[in-house]
Amino acid sequence: MMDKSLSPACGQGPRRLLVIDDESNMRHMLAAMLKNSGYSVDTAAEGLEGMKMLERSSYDFILCDIKMPKMDGMTFLKTAGDLVEHSTVIMMSAYGTVETAIEAMKLGAYDYISKPFKSDEVTLTLKKAEERERLKKENSFLRERIRNIQADNRFDRMVGQSKAMQAVFELAKKVARHNTTVLITGESGTGKELIARGIHFYSERADGRLVPVNCGGIPENLLESEMFGYKKGAFTGADRDKAGLFEAAEGGTLFLDEIGELPLSLQVKLLRVLQESEVRPVGDPKTHKVDVRVITATAKNLEAEMQKGTFREDLFYRLNVMQIHLPSLRERTEDIPPLCQLFIERFNGELKKNIASITPAAMSFIMKHPWPGNVRELENVIQRAVVLAEQDVLLPEHLPGSIVTGLENGHLDTLSEGFSLKEAQRRLEKKLIVKALTETGGNRSRAARLLEISHPSLLSKIKTYRIDL
The domain spans of the chain are 4-146, 159-327, 331-465
According to CATH, the topology of domain 159-327 is Rossmann fold (3.40.50)
3-state DSSP call for residue 443?
Answer: coil
User: Residues 147, 150, 151, 156: is their CA dihedral positive or negative?
Assistant: negative
* Whole-number Å distance between alpha carbons of 364 and 384: 17
CA angle centred on 23, ends 19 and 25, rounded to 5°: 90
Is 50:62 a contact under the CB 8 Å cutoff?
Answer: yes
DSSP assigned state of 260: G
For residue 335, what are the CA distances in angstroms to 193, 301, 338? 18, 25, 6
Looking at residue 418, its pLDDT comes to 59
* Whole-number Å distance between alpha carbons of 207 and 203: 9
For residue 80, what are the CA distances in angstroms to 43, 50, 52, 345? 16, 9, 10, 40
3-state DSSP call for residue 61?
Answer: strand
Is 36:80 a contact under the CB 8 Å cutoff?
Answer: no
3-state DSSP call for residue 434?
Answer: helix
* Whole-number Å distance between alpha carbons of 248 and 231: 15
Is 260:221 a contact under the CB 8 Å cutoff?
Answer: no
Architecture per CATH, 4-146: 3-Layer(aba) Sandwich (3.40)
Looking at residue 168, its pLDDT comes to 92
Looking at residue 408, its pLDDT comes to 38
* Closest to 174 measured CA to CA, from 155, 190, 191: 155
Looking at residue 235, its pLDDT comes to 86
Looking at residue 200, its pLDDT comes to 93
Looking at residue 9, its pLDDT comes to 39
DSSP assigned state of 259: G
The pair phi, psi for residue 281, each rounded to 5°, is -60, 150
CATH of region 331-465: 1.10.8.60
The pair phi, psi for residue 458, each rounded to 5°, is -65, -45
DSSP assigned state of 251: T
Which residues, 6+ apart, have CB-to-CB distance to 104 below 8 Å? 66, 73, 74, 77, 91, 112
Answer yes or no: same fold for 159-327 and 331-465.
no
Looking at residue 151, its pLDDT comes to 45
List per-block mean pLDDT (blocks of 10 residues) for the chain, which spans 469 residues.
Answer: 37 79 90 90 91 88 89 87 84 78 82 82 85 72 50 62 90 92 94 93 91 89 89 85 90 94 92 92 90 95 93 95 94 92 92 91 90 94 93 91 60 52 76 82 84 83 82
Looking at residue 321, its pLDDT comes to 93
Task: Tell me how crowded residue 383 is: count the other CB atoms within 10 A of its CB.
Answer: 16
* Whole-number Å distance between alpha carbons of 164 and 40: 54
